[in-house]
Structure 1
């Protein structure tokens, strides 16, 4: 489930759909991606990519001008020091805009039935769409720039309606937020239309013959100040509770009986009231687009939120019009059941955002360290969780000292389960840690995560001040260094300086909306650029289990060099060279049969696993001091590497059962085992006790548990069990059949990173891009071979791959390097290698088997293979391809032969 090996570090690089993350093993990408992803996304990514590569063909002139301006035109913006810096939108932002434009301009989507065309084999039905109007959902990780996407969608709709005679879009916009906290954040960007002029949203006057800046005439109305001044050109920025349009709409289940300032009472319907009925407003306008921030709230058609938008749409319908478009942006577009919104058209998941350093990397204690954090037997909340709170403060102090050197203030963020315990933790922090005296901000929230007037006992003025203090906490002028809260503003509180999160509550919602958003409050980065930043996470088992679930969803990444000099690279387009009149595309084409898989996983009872046959790891058993045994070891969740250790005086003796259980859960998650925990637990316990180390050990000994924090012990244990389970369950069917074929000329254009390439004469492609310098040398050799009719690099876009069992015993995919056509009746598959690894003999044995299967099933075309190592190639320099086949090593059952 790790990210593809070619997934780029830069968030600005165009992402090929073939390398996007999805929550399963690579072997399942083609067969199961549509079942594990938002159902519309896989196909939409492919079609939008092809459309992008085609220069936005069939888009309106307005759309094409804007897309080229936003994403293909260099933008230099002034910095605070007077210099200029290049600005680029993230690819995730670009893909979201391109997808929306593609659906409106090219596909001309009008309703759910048009959207369902992109579902492929996914079981999507009309009943999954509650709305009867055009609605798109954009899924973007917290911190990836959802507000910028909203600004681009708004500007595009405005100009589209203004400049395109047949446009079905709008120049009036209803921007809805779930609470005042989010509204404040949006207002900072929209006030004075700041975001549209400070970001390169508006093209310069004269671009493609339009006066963009002069024509962008919009009025911003906020909350109760909503007044219609023009029939078009209005932004209505409002809290959702101002949108409720009548007593016939039922209240949200999240609402309380007492509505405070932040929620406001449901409007009575008159525009003279302090709460405005937008149903009244839309009677006076003929067009409207809805933009929803944090739109996961619209997860049930019984909610007042959904009913209000439906009511607005119906009022427009009575006038012969309709809601032009609804665009929802959120990191968690999920129903209460955990199922994702079927309307999701674009997806930038958290795993990709972490990989590209768009957000912070979560860092958590390892298993042995967590086991030493004991919940005390006490009715008093702070006594019960004293270990967790203390560790959080220790971590925060170290971060505070480091960031202070850079003129930044680190923030400690503690979540509790109710307001009473919230006050208890705040009092504990101020009473026991001098550096937090007078520096703890307490915010009481309701069950839906919004600030509560009732539970805090504060009046309107005090709450206004509290809201301002929460928003300004990053500033060095703010006295607050820690925030303690119930739920902690589960959306909208988007400060950047949180370096330590302490979660002291259970997270049981099936959708995981709450914990993902809570973690999201600490993910926004403090510093610009691609520098890696971290947030330390401590908490209850339930909270930590959620954080670790991110790792199970693919965040298993190594660090990459970044910083100055590693800016975005210009992509290369590789495509079929149809424009080259000197090439006979049909003659250069190569056809490769596609076989059914040979290897599969047969799940058996783990009781069949014989620990006695696993061998002894003989990891050196070290002796640690009492102080070292109390170390809390923090590891980067993306790499597993130790980032730092902390000595915690209050740390008790860990329970070995928790540590063994953690390893059992890790193995099960990595192999996607759904049962057998109890059996696996016993196997791992016996292995640790008798075979892992160079001696038998006592599990109760604190020194043993400290040894289990060492990388050698952890890696040996996990990899040994994964390999043994793979050996028990991975099977070869013994036969295969041809199910399809790949014709190279049907390969869609794709974008590659900027690198060396060869312009070929004997290939159907316009460029041969090598993954290494040797591949380019070999391509040049094939160009000069008189006995070669054509050849091609096996790009990922070709989709030619073989399933095989790798050196770890797991099922994996093998992509051969080249396909070489000697005649219409003879084709060779070539593997090139600069340096051989453990998997090479296994891959060659599989390729040999594939050739035998193909030649047996269809004798018309002979398929052969050859392995070319760089050392031998440099030494012998064959004069032709036939000489290469004669003289070079072919792998037969893993044994070299000439």
Structure 2
């Protein structure tokens, strides 16, 4: 982070601190004459945030003993990465999606936003934790049998603080599949802000919940009482530093930790030896960054030797950190000249064409006390085995290559006790209860009992379809259900609410309750554009010919008062898909002469995910109309260009009163 000199002085930050050691060398040299100076560095170049090349290395480098050399020499653990699994691989790289999890668009889109801690993690991330957690359990059992004083540690390095909070909640609420990972007093989320304050001896902003979790870790630690009393007297910044610096060390604050979640890179000197599993949930754009993350788990636990005097091999299993980065080569043809850009802006003289909408965070559903289900009306839920890995193979990674002669497997089929049907029923019912309980007027115990019955009936019915004879085996079927539990819950809930809803209540964004076209910031594009006359926005950006066709219709029809393409406007509908919260952006907003505001979607093909979007939009429109105060809203979807005229005619013919 760059900081001005003035700002640094105001906050007491010494910008020259990092180079103070040079001044010390100068003073020693003047008095004692330094003959030789050796600089030992893991990063022998000036970091700029750009891709590092050989030309950026310091000129005075005379020797290099890199990570690959250390692994080959057996001085550190050998990292193992995912080489394949039994799900469909990434289309671009043909590698397992578990190799670089953040590369998957569903993951990067979901994790790269300001989400609440209670929001579910993307399905691929949950699948990865289930597989990696299975291997961690096996390692934990081996360590307990061998008499280790500390458990093996699973380290997660993620992209932002909101993601770290979601991961912490995922484990501490018990959403992780393996109960051994439901251990709040053995799980530490490293708050980077608190840690930064600890580094410079300052006090961080008060966070009672986080401070309480740190103290709970100390209270539960199996350490002498005298040591515990010493730790209780520390400030939270000092306590966090004490825990982080002593992960896995006997008698120390971090002795019993088994799960560490971090956003900022843990310091170079972090010397935890018991990291056996690493989960990477962030973008990795350089080989150095990958090596730095994996390096946090490479310190050996033991230096015992075999009969030949060689160190016994130790491994760290890695998901989501691509140890081999394919960089784009330099040279070749010169890039083409930049395309001309068009300025897209709000036109103040068209203020009468402004469109406004409520910003709805979620729609709360109030259901009847007595839940009834007509199973004949419930559409089948199809679980695709090709999108769900139930096994993964790992191989040692060295020098950008993997040793396929030393492949080891993580296979969930070898753990049948972890996938009992009754446990899956209660897990799904618990998740469904968390969603429905706030809008249920009856007894919560009665609601829980009803949901258990409904979930159990659904899992045993033909409404759950797994189109694979191989996966129709009872154990494989239960594993697929477990790995798609959020999808099952979402499907059950949508049918429960559809058949039992009494009313819908929108929850508005308190900070920004009303959105409007007039709030759009000016932006630029190189895409084809054409000027508008019936829109508050100067141009329409043509992402497809269908959208251009729709705009032509809106411009010509007298029953269209105003319209806007929903591009950079901020109008979005939240919906659930594959266990995670997604954003749906309808294509157009259209104000008709009848007083109706139409949210119009244009789709060439349909899919189950598109249906989930429409269900959410339908729920949003019903809730907003029921709340009143925002006019009359309607929605529709055109699957063919010719349908747009008919849709406008249909909604223009219904003159609805403006609430």
TM-score (norm 2): 0.41
